[in-house]
């Protein structure tokens, strides 16, 4: 059993997209839990900033510039992490690209841009981490998806298809690797305050209002709330959980529609009853 204050002590995690938003929060949480964190992404500065923040708080962190779309670069980077840190206990597939575009206007290049980062990048990293994890006989892979992986969402056909692929990959490999000590799970955040999501998905005040109105709890998530749920799935408290999705969305997807009727209308219909 692990120490509950330092559940990640002696362990090493790789967090893709760890320079910003949810990735930074998950990396920070892992570092605070006693683990060593390696954050990856394309831009060096935000990665270094994350690593410095973790170190300043007394944790251990490293930054590696990496484009997850490049399978060879991913293999090399993960081999380097193993050489430098001796092991890889956790992989958080968090890197993503997204924008809103109607399906009929999405170019092949736009489709490819998102599929390459989210679906192909997740496979490359998972495959590379598995080389070490299967050898060790232990490891935990957590992929950040979105609930539209199963219900779809207009304007995000590329991202929804990619996240659905990641979910299918997770469930498939969870079974393949279960008896070899490697668990794979997903987390599905609801709307979460990050610069990336804000700019890509709700830059206009009207779209932000629509997003907020879609959440029964009527608020966005803080990155720390997502990181806390991620930490649970990564540590030994979740040792018997594999192939699952933990949705952290303030009820958003369940509350989306009641047989096509907005919740406000359902409440109105019940106004004359005790």
Ligand X SMILES: CCCCCCC/C=C/C(=O)SCCNC(=O)CCNC(=O)[C@H](O)C(C)(C)COP(=O)(O)OP(=O)(O)OC[C@H]1O[C@@H](n2cnc3c(N)ncnc32)[C@H](O)[C@@H]1OP(=O)(O)O
Residues near ligand X (CB under 6 A): 96-101, 107-110, 113-114, 146, 153, 155-156, 159, 196-197, 200-201, 211
Dihedral of the alpha carbons of 19, 90, 119, 162, in degrees to the nearest 10? -90
7, 17, 31, 165: residue in contact with ligand NDP (rule CB under 6 A): 17
Tell me which residue of 98, 205, 93 sits closest to 140, measured CA to CA. 93
What is the smallest separation between the CB atom of 256 and ligand X, expressed in angstroms?
Answer: 12
The smaller minimum CB distance to ligand X, of residues 75 and 101, is found at 101
Q: How far is the CB of 109 from ligand X (least distance, A)?
A: 2
Beta strands at 60-65 and 36-41: parallel, antiparallel or unpaired: parallel
Q: Distance between CA atoms of 28 and 2, rounded to whole angstroms? A: 19
Round to whole Å and give the CA distance between 256 and 87.
42
SS3 at position 186:
strand
Which of 183, 190, 181, 185 is CA-nearest to residue 167?
Answer: 185
Cβ-based nearer residue to ligand X, 31 or 155? 155
Question: CA 60 to CA 30: how far, in whole Å?
Answer: 10
36 touches, from ligand X, ligand NDP, none (C-beta below 5 to 8 Å by class): none
Q: Establish if 146 lies at the interface with ligand NDP (CB under 6 A).
A: yes
Single out the residue of 33, 155, 191, 250 in contact with ligand NDP (rule: CB under 6 A): 191
Q: Judged by CB, which is closer to ligand X: 182, or 226?
A: 226
Of 75, 9, 74, the residue nearest 36 (C-alpha): 9
> Does 16 sit near ligand NDP (CB under 6 A)?
yes
CA atoms lying within 13 Å on the CB side of residue 61: 28
Give which of 186, 101, 100 is closest to 140, Cα–Cα.
186
Total of residues contacting ligand NDP (CB under 6 A): 31
Give the nearest distance from C-beta 242 to ligand NDP in angstroms: 20
Of residues 101 through 140, those in contact with ligand NDP by CB under 6 A are 117, 121
For ligand X, give the closer residue by CB, 128 or 160.
160
User: 196 or 216: whose CB is closer to ligand X?
Assistant: 196
14/133 Cα distance (integer angstroms): 12
> Residue 96, interface with ligand NDP (CB under 6 A)?
yes
Is position 259 annotated as part of the catalytic site? no
Query: DSSP secondary-structure letter at 222?
Result: P
Instruction: Round to whole Å and give the CA distance between 162 and 120.
Output: 9
Secondary structure (3-state) at 40 = strand
39 or 173: CB nearest ligand NDP: 39
* Shortest reach from residue 7's CB to ligand NDP, in Å: 22
20 is an interface residue for ligand NDP by CB under 6 A: yes
Active site positions, annotated: 148
Binding site for ligand NDP (CB under 6 A): 16-17, 19-23, 41-43, 46, 66-69, 94-98, 117, 121, 144, 146, 189, 191-192, 194-197
């Amino acid at each position: 059993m692990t120490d509950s204050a330092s559940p990640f002590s002696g362990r090493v995690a790789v967090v893709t997209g760890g320079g910003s938003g949810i990735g930074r929060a998950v990396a920070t949480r892992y570092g605070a839990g006693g683990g060593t964190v390696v954050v990856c992404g394309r831009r060096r500065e935000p990665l270094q900033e994350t690593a410095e923040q973790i170190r300043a708080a007394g944790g251990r962190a490293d930054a590696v510039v990496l484009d997850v779309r490049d399978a060879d670069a991913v293999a090399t980077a993960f081999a380097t992490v193993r050489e430098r840190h001796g092991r890889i206990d956790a992989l958080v597939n968090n890197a993503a690209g997204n924008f809103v575009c109607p399906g009929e206007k999405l170019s092949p290049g736009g489709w490819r841009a998102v599929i390459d980062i989210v679906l192909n990048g997740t496979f490359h990293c998972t495959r590379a981490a598995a080389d070490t994890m299967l050898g060790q006989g232990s490891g935990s892979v957590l992929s950040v998806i979105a609930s539209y992986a199963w219900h779809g969402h207009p304007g995000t056909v590329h991202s929804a298809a990619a996240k659905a692929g990641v979910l299918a990959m997770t469930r498939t490999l969870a079974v393949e690797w279960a008896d070899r000590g490697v668990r794979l799970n997903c987390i599905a955040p609801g709307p979460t305050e990050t610069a990336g999501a804000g700019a890509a998905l709700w830059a206009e005040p009207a779209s932000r209002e629509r997003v907020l109105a879609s959440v029964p709890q009527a608020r966005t998530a803080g990155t720390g709330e997502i990181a806390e749920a991620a930490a649970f799935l990564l540590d030994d408290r979740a040792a018997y959980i594999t192939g699952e999705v933990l949705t952290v969305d303030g009820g958003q997807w369940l509350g989306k529609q009641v047989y096509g009727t907005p919740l406000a209308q359902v409440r109105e219909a019940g106004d004359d009853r005790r």
